[in-house]
Amino acid sequence: MIERYTLPEMGRLWSDQYRYDQWLRVELAVCEAWTATGAIPSEDMERLRPATVSAERVAEIERETDHDVIAFLRAAGESVGPERRWLHLGLTSSDVVDTALSITLVDAGELLCGQLERLETILVDLALRYKDTPTIGRTHGVHAEPTTFGYKLLVWLDETRRNLRRLSAAIEELRTGKLSGAVGTHANVPPEIEEHALSALGLRPALVATQVLGRDLHAQFLNTLAVIGACLEKYATEVRHLQRTEVREAEQPFGERQQGSSAMPHKRNPEKMERVAGLARMLRGYATTGLENVALWHERDISHSSTERITLPGACTLLYYMLHLMIDNLRDLRVYPEKMLQNLELTHGLVYSQRVLLSLVDAGIDRQEAYKLVQGHAMRSWETGADFRQLLSEDERVSKVLGHEGLAEAFSLEPHLRHVSAGYARMGLETE
């Protein structure tokens, strides 16, 4: 991933040095397991434990061997003596690579969970802060009915919690290793060696495997990241729409020294939210590649290997950055409640049409007749800009049935605000 979108804590996990360090962890865990059975002399194991590996040396040897695992084994072997012969005992390359990859993906996934938890905390704060802030709800981009800005954010919070559960489940599936040798039959490395080594690494053995772990594990993980990215894109798109000049109900933060346009000094653009939306497209592409990797030839091929060098670090790095961006921008989100009220009143009361309709039905008027009656006045209000409530009050069929008080009740914001509390209660956010 390019440096622009790589934050150091995630970037470290995908460095060459970190990868080789994990490979060495796997190799040494297997040696420890062999030592426990007496296959490797304990004095040799003592001399193996301090083994190290240098990414620079691996790269140098790989230019000769054109095989990264062989280059790694030679480089690691140079750090110890004759006991190097025990490294890779009974293993095949994929045993080391796939098991170490699981360790790295678990580490990366836990970093992502930490970001999601931070996002959750911010959304809780925002949802409570704006619980009673009325705004217009829109369907098809058109004013529908009143809601609250907090309730909009409560929906995001619910999605974020679901994403945490999804990601935790995908990580749990990835706490799986494979140390069963070529084509996975344990012909040269017994199951007890695998179990001993993987337990020390914090993993469990795949119940069955070929020469590689099933790529459905990695596809599930990538698709989970893509779902999280899609949700972030949803939030970014909402902020982008709310920041439009004609709406201007909320906007991403704009620094004192920030500049929005090279040509137009007045511009304050939602460019960070646009960046989140753009990067979400990359995540979906990575997820598609992950699904393509599930079908390998027979017990394995390596068509998945080349893509995973891009998709897995790329997806983790991008999502971590996207979450960082969203957290920063929502923490300091600019919200304009006065503009929300202004926009809510923009259609001269049309947003209460359903309340009027239901009041007429409750009063005994046939629903279809009531619908046509209300719609007729609504269309007139749309076309002329006349006040919707005034038009209804001048209609004897309405005034006779509802009266002044009934009409006033139909045009009240209070029911729209009162019942959002149910969602807060269901989310475990009880409020006074």
**CA 106 – CA 111 distance, rounded (Å):** 9
The number of angstroms, rounded, from the C-alpha of 157 to the middle of its chain's C-alpha atoms is: 12
Beta strands in 267-411 (DSSP E): 334-335
Helix ranges restricted to H, 49-92: 55-65, 68-77
Q: Which element (helix H / strand E) includes 148?
A: strand 142-148
The number of angstroms, rounded, from the C-alpha of 315 to the middle of its chain's C-alpha atoms is: 10
**CA 113 – CA 332 distance, rounded (Å):** 21
* Cα three-residue angle 393-396-400, rounded to 5 degrees: 90
For 90-121, b/e burial (b = at least 16 CB within 10 A) is bbbbbbbbbbbbbbbbbbbbebbeebbeebbe
Residues whose CB is less than 8 angstroms from the CB of residue 187 and which lie 6 or more positions away in sequence, other chains included: 181
Q: Helix (H, G, I), strand (E, B), or coil: what is residue 421?
A: helix
Q: Any idea which residue has 């939210």 for tokens?
A: 273
**CA 276 – CA 234 distance, rounded (Å):** 9
Residues whose CB is less than 8 angstroms from the CB of residue 197 and which lie 6 or more positions away in sequence, other chains included: 26, 29, 30, 32, 33, 177, 179
Contact 150, 420 (CB under 8 A): yes
Catalytic positions: 140, 261
Contact 89, 40 (CB under 8 A): yes
Task: Tell me which amino acid residue 391 is.
Answer: L
Contact 211, 297 (CB under 8 A): no
